[in-house]
Amino acid sequence: MDNLKHRCIVKLLYGCGLRLHELIFLELTDVDSENMLIRINHSKGSKDRMVMLSPSLLAELRAYVKEFKPRKYLIEGQGGGRYSDKSVQMIVKAAAHRAGIQKPVTPHILRHSFATHLLENGTDIRYIQQLLGHNSIKTTKIYTHITDVSKSQIRSPLDFL
């Protein structure tokens, strides 16, 4: 993706497991670069949570803020104010198309991929539950199903003997 703002949008959705609504309500003050966290205040069910901030994403966000100078919301429209849901959906769809992905890709698919990839790389499902902001572990288990166990990093207990 050549557009810095669009790249930040996609990286926030995938790299933090954000819902579309959470992304467009992120404010500049929600980014805690000192602790490498992003505070999610407008989460589903009116729950607040913290998610990790990747160092590579922080570098891009700093460049984005320097170039676009948002005033309140982290990702703002051209005239300021919140970015639109539809614009984010179109950005994600166009990025998937340019990447040669044939399946439909939505912002929610990026959230699903975030959770699935964490699980496949050995992250405890209870941490994933917290990162996603789920009340019930049942929701997280359904949401983060592993589609191909052979590609995961899961090892047999025999390997530890």
Residue 156 within any structural domain of the chain: no
Residue 30 within any structural domain of the chain: yes
Helix (H) or strand (E) holding 140: helix 137-143
Residue 157 within any structural domain of the chain: no
Question: What is the distance between the alpha carbons of residues 142 and 125, in angstroms, rounded to a whole number?
Answer: 11
Residue 11 within any structural domain of the chain: yes
pLDDT value of residue 144:
58
Is 50:38 a contact under the CB 8 Å cutoff? yes
pLDDT value of residue 43:
78
Q: Which residues of the chain have pLDDT under 70?
A: 45, 143-161
Residue 159 within any structural domain of the chain: no
Residue 89 within any structural domain of the chain: yes
Residue 71 is part of a domain; what is its CATH number? 1.10.443.10
Query: Among 5, 6, 64, 134, which one carries the catalytic annotation?
Result: 134
Q: Distance of CA 103 to CAs 24, 93, 96, 100, Å?
A: 24, 10, 8, 9
Residue 141 within any structural domain of the chain: yes
Query: Among 42, 82, 108, 112, which one carries the catalytic annotation?
Result: 108
- Answer yes or no: 111 catalytic: yes
pLDDT value of residue 16:
95
Query: Among 19, 64, 73, 83, which one carries the catalytic annotation?
Result: 19
pLDDT value of residue 77:
93
Residue 129 within any structural domain of the chain: yes
Query: Among 21, 44, 97, 98, which one carries the catalytic annotation?
Result: 44
pLDDT value of residue 44:
77
- Answer yes or no: 44 catalytic: yes
pLDDT value of residue 143:
64
- Answer yes or no: 19 catalytic: yes
Q: Distance of CA 16 to CAs 6, 47, 54, 100, Å?
A: 15, 16, 8, 23
Give the tokens for residue 147: 């589609």
Q: What is the pLDDT of residues 148-158, one digit of tens each?
A: 555 556 665 65
* Structural domain harbouring 71: 4-151
Number of domains in the chain: 1
